[in-house]
Amino acid sequence: VSSAFDFAGNLFPLSSTTGAGGYAPIGAPTSAARPAGGLGGESLEKHKTLTYLNGLSLIVGLIIGSGIFSSPSQVSSKVGSAGAALVVWVVAGILAWTGAASYAELGGCIPLNGGSQVYLAKTFGEIAGFLFTWVAVLVLKPGSAAIISIIMGEYFVRAIIGAEAETINPWINKSVALAGIAVVTFLNCISTRLGTRVNDVLMFLKFVALLGVTVTGIVVAITGYTFKGEKDVAWKAHDWFDGTSFDLSNWAVALYGGLWAFDGWDNTNYVVGEFRNPSRDLPRVIHTAMPLVILSYVLANVAYFLVLPVGEVNGSNTVAVAFGSKVFGPIGALVLALVVSASCFGALNSSTFTAGRLVYVAGKEGYVPAVFGRIGVGNEERELSTQHTRSCFSKRLRGCFGDDDMGLFYTPIYALILNGTITAGYCIVGEFATLVTFYGVAGYTFYFVTVLGLIILRVKEPHLERPYKTWITTPIIFCCVSLFLLSRAVFAQPLQTLAVVAFVIAGIPVYFWRIRGRDQARKREGDGGERPWWRFWT
């Protein structure tokens, strides 16, 4: 049995040209291979701060965002009936779970930060990992964050102005969204701990909200009364499977809607390297998070359908608000709008946290300019900042946003700023219908290839140490269903698919350019040369 780090020297076979001790994988000690302050320098993974609970709140916080409160209409209007919609929600949840379980295996045997990037590099060569990063850094992460932030803005403005207000200038929504992006970027720059604390609190809030929706729905269903005193709520009238569509394409589109709500299940994998005990905690996180999320989503949907007639669900982009106003009147609408925007804020926060890590890893690899792979403060500044933190705050308070041995700003600041900037850009120019499909197609292409890689690894390297091994059926199911989804997209959205393909291909020349620069830089360092300060791109 080979150990987890056996491939350390040959994860990427590119190192021979550098003469600087070879390529060290992300998270491995870099000092021997590279002079300090070069492409390596301070490293986040040295500080293993994440626990099981942090992981759980990270992933749950990211998954439960906007989707469960606004996608139900997309699902039910496509498949035609409440019963069929529930089936889609269950299928989407299980699909996400099989994906997450597969990623847990990969994360266990390659416990490094970076997610798909490292797994793809390991199975298909570095260029595959690079192409993932290329798409993820430029499109997937900021694109999804932009969508979430816009939805957050919409709900927040609605809560303030009132649910019934007709047209709201989209720029008002966008300003709130931009403010949200700035706030989470700043929070995550300050400290890792602060970001994760915010997640912990908001995760709790989300479960309470979903539980509240469920209980309310059941009470209304049993008594037949809403809290406003209205009688005869519609649920008795529905026929659960009336009007079900039998068109496969409709089901595929509905599934994309459900999958958006479950999306984000791969995100703990971006930060595996920072777990105290990754091989134990990663599978545990995934196998608690996924069933919890599936259960609460299905229950929330049942509650929606118990209270609102299918037609009303179909026609509303803001099902949660419609639900609140039906049961409790304007106050209910207001509370739910606030809850949804808080939930989106939490998802945005978690997403920013992991996106920062992704860009940071890419910076360390030389995929993006090296400055993005740096921690906010260097060693001396860190010492100062630690002392400063110590003198300013009580121990208890300090525990809330920084580890004792880490001062403030011990975070990938530059990476976070880059990510925040791109996100803001999408938020300003974004045309969201386009972005969502592009996101789905590009995202599932990489999920598919990564999980396929797991199957290939099982065959190619059967003896690789796998602290957690999922049933082989899991990745197979995931691959089949995502292939079906992707093939549908090719027919339904040929232009979008073409755009995705073109974008990925455009990454290939960039890869060769970046790698050349990186190898030259390492060679210079190996020769004891200095990197001129203005050469920020290598």
Binding site for ligand ARG (CB under 6 A): 62-63, 65-67, 144-145, 148, 260-261, 263-264, 267, 347, 351
Q: Which helix (H) or strand (E) holds 54?
A: helix 52-63
| Tokens read off for 103 | 């990623």
- Hey, which residues does 225 pair with through a beta bridge? 231
Question: Which of 267, 314 has the CB closer to ligand ARG?
Answer: 267
Nearest distance from residue 444's CB to ligand ARG, in Å? 12
Nearest distance from residue 490's CB to ligand ARG, in Å? 22
Question: CA–CA separation, 230 vs 488, rounded Å?
Answer: 43
* SS3 state of residue 116: helix
| Tokens read off for 370 | 């090296």
SS (H, E, C) 124-136: HCHHHHHHHHHHH
Nearest distance from residue 19's CB to ligand ARG, in Å? 39
| Tokens read off for 534 | 């203005």
End-to-end CA distance of the chain: 38
Question: CA–CA separation, 173 vs 175, rounded Å?
Answer: 5
Question: CA–CA separation, 266 vs 496, rounded Å?
Answer: 23
Question: CA–CA separation, 275 vs 94, rounded Å?
Answer: 25
49 contacts 251 by C-beta, under 8 angstroms = no
User: Going by C-beta distance under 8 Å and a sequence separation of 6 or more, which residues neighbour residue 109?
Assistant: 4, 457, 464, 465, 466, 467
Question: Which of 20, 435 has the CB closer to ligand ARG?
Answer: 435
Nearest distance from residue 210's CB to ligand ARG, in Å? 12
Question: Which of 346, 407 has the CB closer to ligand ARG?
Answer: 346
Question: Which of 63, 233 has the CB closer to ligand ARG?
Answer: 63
| Tokens read off for 180 | 């949200």
SS (H, E, C) 307-332: HCCHHHHHHCCCHHHHHHHHHHCHHH
| Tokens read off for 522 | 């390492």
What would you report as the CA-atom Rg of the chain, rounded to the nearest whole angstrom?
A: 24
Nearest distance from residue 224's CB to ligand ARG, in Å? 32
Q: Which helix (H) or strand (E) holds 372?
A: none
Nearest distance from residue 61's CB to ligand ARG, in Å? 10
Nearest distance from residue 143's CB to ligand ARG, in Å? 9
Question: CA–CA separation, 443 vs 435, rounded Å?
Answer: 11
419 contacts 238 by C-beta, under 8 angstroms = no
Number of Cβ atoms within 10 Å of the Cβ of 179: 14
Nearest distance from residue 267's CB to ligand ARG, in Å? 6
Question: Which of 25, 264 has the CB closer to ligand ARG?
Answer: 264
Instruction: Note the residue count of the chain.
Output: 538
Nearest distance from residue 24's CB to ligand ARG, in Å? 28
Question: Which of 54, 267 has the CB closer to ligand ARG?
Answer: 267
Q: CA 259 → CA 369, 384, 443, 473, distances in Å?
A: 33, 46, 11, 20
Question: Which of 67, 366 has the CB closer to ligand ARG?
Answer: 67
Question: Which of 146, 408 has the CB closer to ligand ARG?
Answer: 146
User: What single letter denotes the amino acid at residue 6?
Assistant: D
Nearest distance from residue 407's CB to ligand ARG, in Å? 29
Nearest distance from residue 424's CB to ligand ARG, in Å? 15
Question: CA–CA separation, 368 vs 27, rounded Å?
Answer: 17
Nearest distance from residue 118's CB to ligand ARG, in Å? 17
